């Protein structure tokens, strides 16, 4: 009788497991991909740091997310922005580890260390982009630069330790019926509204302008002028691996149908996934690594209705 894979793994010694992990992880392709990730993430962190240090802070503006929380706290506690960001990121990492597990920590750990480090370097430069205060121009610039930053980060398959992590915790334990995007929007709204009492009403409105621009620019960086939902149709020889990745890692559902390749006469299983643009990038990278010969089509979707599907409820007007 043959042992299943779990039994075989349990028979391996710790040293053998480490050797197997090292062999599978430090391949030439993985090293090349990770090096490219580091370069792009450094560029993204530099753009965001420049936006914060050279545009946002000199003009007294703020935004949503952990950056907005730090800006509010700085009004009461005079500590460097980068140090505050380190502390905030550390708290979020701890919360994610406790409530969501270490698999989620892996997604935010790299940027949680890299971004505050780059911020600290830019704080030493102390350069203001605008020669005089111009809140409207500064708000627009912040929105564009932050959007480019997040777009690059999402494109490379990473994420910041911020509202998305807190949103996942709230969704899992308190508001499972509310979509993650709505929870994140609600968190940003709370942070921006709170700034009214710390700064003033105008600063909160400028923050809202920046947030809207950021959201739009993220979509433009990822897929140009398109909707927030895409449909992927995939034919791959790694069907089980893809299914496991989409369900357990991306946390999306998928369906399948049998199709026939008329040129070869062979039958194939076509996997269909509805997801966000960022998630489609993660799926594409997974396929590029595990099945470069996979056949993938991607279509823009205006909207998706389906009660309990993670998209819009079919009985709601909007």
- What gap in Å lies between CA 206 and CA 152, rounded to an integer? 24
Q: Considering the chain, what percentage of its residues have pLDDT values greater than 70?
A: 86
Task: Compute CA distances 197 → 62, 133, 175, 192, 263, whole Å.
Answer: 13, 22, 27, 10, 67
- The whole-number pLDDT of residue 118 equals 93
Residue 230 Cα distances to 241, 280, 281, 295, angstroms: 21, 7, 11, 16
Report the range out of 19-28, 176-185, 190-199, 295-304 with the highest average pLDDT: 190-199
3-state secondary structure labels for all residues of 194-218: HHHHHCCHHHHHHHHHHHHHHHHHH
pLDDT tier for residue 2 given thresholds of 50, 70 and 90: very low
pLDDT at 5: 46
pLDDT at 318 over 70: no
Domain ranges of the chain: 28-223, 229-301
Is the pLDDT assigned to residue 82 strictly greater than 90?
no
Q: How confident is the model at residue 160 (pLDDT cuts 50, 70, 90)?
A: confident
CA–CA dist 45, 24 (Å, integer): 29
pLDDT, average across residues 6-10 = 46
Whole-number pLDDT of residue 41? 92
Cα(290)–Cα(237) distance, rounded to whole angstroms? 10
CATH class of this structure's domain 229-301? alpha beta
pLDDT in tens, 15-70: 666 565 555 555 667 778 888 889 999 999 999 999 999 999 889 888 888 888 88
Burial class (CB in 10 A: 0-12, 13-18, 19+), 317: exposed
pLDDT band at 81 (very low <50, low <70, confident <90, very high): confident
Contact 82, 120 (CB under 8 A): yes
């Amino acid at each position: 009788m043959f042992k299943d894979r779990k039994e075989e793994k349990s028979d391996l010694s710790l040293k053998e497991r480490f050797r197997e992990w090292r062999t599978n992880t430090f391949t030439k392709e993985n090293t090349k991909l990770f090096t490219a990730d580091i370069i792009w993430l450094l560029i993204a962190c530099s753009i965001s740091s420049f936006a914060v240090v050279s545009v946002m802070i000199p003009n007294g503006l703020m935004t949503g997310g952990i950056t907005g929380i730090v800006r509010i706290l700085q009004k009461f506690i005079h500590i460097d922005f980068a140090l505050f960001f380190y502390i905030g990121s550390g708290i979020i990492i701890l919360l994610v580890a406790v409530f969501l597990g270490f698999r989620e920590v892996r997604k935010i750990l790299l940027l949680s260390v890299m971004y505050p480090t780059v911020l600290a370097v830019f704080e030493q430069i102390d350069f203001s982009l605008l020669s005089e205060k111009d809140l409207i121009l500064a708000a627009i610039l912040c929105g564009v630069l932050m959007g480019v930053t997040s777009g690059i980060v999402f494109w490379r398959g990473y994420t910041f330790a911020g509202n998305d992590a807190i949103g996942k915790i709230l969704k899992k334990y308190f508001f499972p019926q509310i979509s993650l995007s709505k929870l994140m929007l609600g968190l940003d709204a709370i942070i921006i509204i709170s700034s009214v009492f710390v700064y003033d009403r105008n600063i909160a409105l400028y923050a809202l302008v920046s947030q809207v621009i950021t959201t739009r620019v993220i979509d433009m960086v990822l897929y140009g002028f398109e909707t927030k939902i895409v449909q992927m149709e995939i034919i791959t020889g790694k069907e089980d691996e893809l299914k496991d990745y989409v369900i357990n890692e991306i946390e999306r559902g998928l369906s399948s149908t049998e199709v026939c390749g008329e040129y070869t006469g062979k039958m194939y299983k076509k996997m269909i996934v509805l997801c966000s643009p960022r998630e489609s990038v993660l799926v594409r990278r997974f396929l590029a690594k595990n099945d470069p010969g996979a056949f993938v089509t991607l279509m823009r979707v205006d909207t998706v209705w389906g009660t309990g599907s993670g998209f819009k409820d079919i009985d709601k007007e909007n």
